Structure 1
Amino acid sequence: MPHSRIAIYPGSFDPITYGHLDIIKRSLRIFEHVIVAVARNSQKNALFGIDERIALIRSVLKDEQRVSVDTFSGLLIDYVASKNAHVVVRGLRAISDFEYEFQIAQMNNSISHDVETLFMMTSVQYGYLSSSIVREVCSLGGNVDSFVPAEVKAAMQKKYGLTGSQSADSV
């Protein structure tokens, strides 16, 4: 198998959280370049459109030269091949994540033996964190400062019609 120092980190990133950023930064310890690949998934009811998600990710990672942001649709395995990469990075929070991700990794491996999946356990402080939980907390006016960067918080509050004074400063 050819070696590549490029990893693909796919997901919906709706929105990107500190948990995602933790996986990206830790992946950069292993890989020369990480492509954050935002999936076009019409089955999910997204808060942010694809272009908005890409802009937010680029904004929070603007100082990281070894990360690029892209979008894809169709099979992840085809996208990985198109980028001349051979590793998919996936974050795991719990056993339930592993069951699902293991099935996807096995399917990807059965389609292409050239692609490996690297599972990274989330850091302890982000083990509970998910984009859907962050969306729910924000939609109810809760404080999301410890879950997402400031620009993501502001974008979410705008989407939900909240202003800084309407959202709780301490929950």
Structure 2
Amino acid sequence: MKKVALFPGSFDPFTKGHADIVMRGLKLFDEVIIGIGTNSAKKRYFPLEMMTDKIRETFQDTNKVKIIAYDDLTANAVVTYGANFLLRGLRNTTDFEYENTISQVNRHLVNGLETVFLITSPELAPISSTIVRELHKYGAKVNEFLPYDLD
């Protein structure tokens, strides 16, 4: 059976930390689907179409990464896109507490769905989309935190 992981997130923006999780995930899975989900509690800063294009550009050299956008429960996206795993990155214990709860709910919604957690590479742990958005909003250069250029 082909091992397909859905890597869900708002990816606003998609950072080097996210790219690292995808590349390391490719060592475990046959395919990684990057799922840009709609978070009803957040308003996007970077346009969805732009972020989709930037992520596609980042992984243009592999056919093992797909990018999708969805406006649904992640558990439903897993079924819709044929994934059999969720892939998540953990920077710290706060991430673990949040992600653990979500993984339990997703497993309840999709029987047998496993979430695979990868610990963020130490040099990338301080990077968060929230920090990058804030820096960008006030004119700071952020390309060093991203696997693509914004300019």
Aligning the two structures, in what range does the TM-score lie when normalised by the shorter sequence?
A: over 0.9
**TM-score by structure 1 length?**
0.83
Structure 2 equivalent of residue 163 of structure 1? none
Pairing partner for 2:17 from 16, 19, 22: 19
Distance 1:150 1:77 in 2: 29
Larger Rg: 1
Change (3 A) 1:150 1:55: closer
Count of paired positions = 151
Shift of 1:123: 0.2
Match of 2:143, SS? coil
SS of the residue corresponding to residue 68 of structure 1 reads strand
1:54 aligns with 2:52: yes
Once residues 48 and 39 of structure 2 are traced to their aligned partners in structure 1, the CA distance between those partners, rounded to angstroms, is 9
- Are the aligned partners of 1:4 and 1:85 in contact in 2 as well (CA < 8 Å)? no
Partner of 2:88: 90
SS of equivalent to 2:56: helix
TM-superposed CA distance for 1:65, in Å, is 1.5
Cα separation, 1, equivalents of 2:109 and 2:93: 24
- Counterpart of 1:118 in 2: which secondary structure? strand
In structure 2, the partner of 1:6 is 4
Matching residue within 1, 4, 27 for 1:29? 27
Query: Which residue pairs with 1:41 in the alignment?
Result: 39
Measured against aligned partners, the alpha-carbon deviations of 1:85-109 in whole angstroms (never above 9, x if no partner) come to: 2100000001000000000001111
How far does residue 136 in structure 1 lie from its aligned partner after superposition? 1.2
* Correspondence for 2:72: 74
Paired with 1:17 and 1:69, the residues of 2 have a C-alpha distance of: 15
Could you say what the CA RMSD is over the residues aligned between the two structures, in angstroms? 1.4
Higher-RCO chain (CA-CA 8 Å, sequence separation at least 6): 2
Deviating 4+ runs (over 6 angstroms): none
Offset, 1:150? 4.0
Q: 1:128 aligns with which of 123, 126, 129?
A: 126
| 1:82 Cα deviation after fit | 1.6
Contact 1:40/1:50 (8 A) holds in 2: no
Distance 1:149 1:6 in 2: 23
Unaligned runs of 5+ in 1: 155-171
Q: Could you say what secondary structure the match of 1:71 adopts?
A: strand
- Corresponding letter in the other structure for 1:122: T
Query: Which runs of 5 or more residues in structure 2 are unaligned?
Result: none
TM-aligned CA distance change 1:150 to 1:112, over 3 Å: closer
Alignment of structure 1 residues 134-145 onto 2, 5 Å:
134-145=132-143
